[in-house]
Each structure stands twice: as structure tokens, then as C-alpha cells.
Amino acid sequence: MSFSTHLRRPIAWLVLGLIGVALAGCGYNNVPTLEEKAKAAWSEVQNQYQRRADLIPNLVETVKGYAAQERDVLTAVIEARAKATQVKVDASTVNDPLKFKEFQDAQNQLTGALGRLLVTVERYPDLKSNQNFLALQSQLEGTENRVAVARRDYIQAVQAFNTEIRTFPGVIWAKLFWGAKPMETFTAATGAERPPAVKF
């Protein structure tokens, strides 16, 4: 074995090591890493919306026992929940503006119906003191807070991902190797700044 053959193997390993370090240092892995973070944040959004949907039937039944005459409000909540849970979402939803808007619109409709239900409850002092209702209301309020946090975390994760795939050097890796597309993010619902109107 000649001296030059003896040197080739360590030099090849050294070159491969340097290429690996260069790729790691230039952001090659940033695109998939940020994409996975955004997908995990999206899963948490879905998880919190599902938690809210699971609480609603018990809340509606409790209110119905005290305020059966509020049929329109109760029906609106039930229908909004049904619509929100029928919208099929998966990982591709975050890259599809139409599917994402359909999901967001259904959730916004449910949020509005729940808001009207909780405002309507103010008319029923016996209901407001019912332990089951208070427990459900507390759980729902906690869930709404979790939804807000999950949405905020998702928006931040998507911002980081979308920025990475649109700026140098991430744009190179995104186009050449990963085929990454921008992800959709939440926007405020129209009229979200106004409280629900309930007529007495």
C-alpha cells in the first residue's frame, strides 16, 4: 500500500466532514426543522379546538335545563359545533389557503355562537349559580385561553418558517431541496372587536 493510498481515506473523511459542517452551518436543516415546529403548533391548535368541541354538548344540555326557551341560541351553538367538527383538516391544510379559510371560518362561527350563548346566560341567575354550569363555563374559559395561546404559538412558528423560506440562504434550500411552500396563518375574524349583541 502506497503512502498516497494511505492518505486518501482520511482526506476523504475530512472532506466529507467539512461538507457536513458547511451544510449544517449554512441553514440546510432550518427549513425542515421550522416546518416541523409549525406542524406541531398546528396540531396543538387542533387539539384545543377539539377540547372546546367536546365541552359544548354538556354546556348546551346544562343551559337547556334552565333556559329551554332560548332555542335559537342553543340551536346556533349546536349547528356551529357540527359545522366546525365536519371541516376535515390535516397537515396539508396549512399550505392550502381555501381549506385553511374554511377551517378558520367554521371556528369563528362557533366562537361567535358560544359568545352569544354565554351573554344570554346572564338572564338566568339560577343557571349562573348552578355548579355544573360554573364548572363547564370555567373549563370553556380555560380552553378559550388555551386556543388563544395555541394560535399565537402557531402564528409565531409559521412566521419563522415563512421567513426562512423567503430569505437567503433558506430560499435556496426551500426551492432546491425541500419544495417548501408558505404556510397559512390566522387572521382576526370580521367583527371580532365587537362583543356579541343579545336583545332582551
* Residue-level pLDDT at 140: 93
- Match 355544573 to its residue by C-alpha cell: 132
* Residue-level pLDDT at 197: 47
Interatomic CA distance for residues 174 and 187, integer angstroms: 25
* 8 Å CB contact between 151 and 119: no
- The pTM of the full predicted model, rounded to 2 decimals, is 0.79
Cell of 193: 372587536
- Match 449544517 to its residue by C-alpha cell: 24
Low-confidence ranges of the chain (pLDDT < 70): 1-7, 12, 15-26, 189-200
Residues 6+ apart with CB under 8 A from 66: 124, 126, 127, 130, 133
Residues 6+ apart with CB under 8 A from 56: 77, 78, 81, 110, 114, 140
* 8 Å CB contact between 174 and 165: yes
Cell of 22: 458547511
* 8 Å CB contact between 61 and 92: no
- Match 458547511 to its residue by C-alpha cell: 22
SS3 content of the chain, % helix, strand, coil (to 5): 80, 0, 20
* Residue-level pLDDT at 88: 87
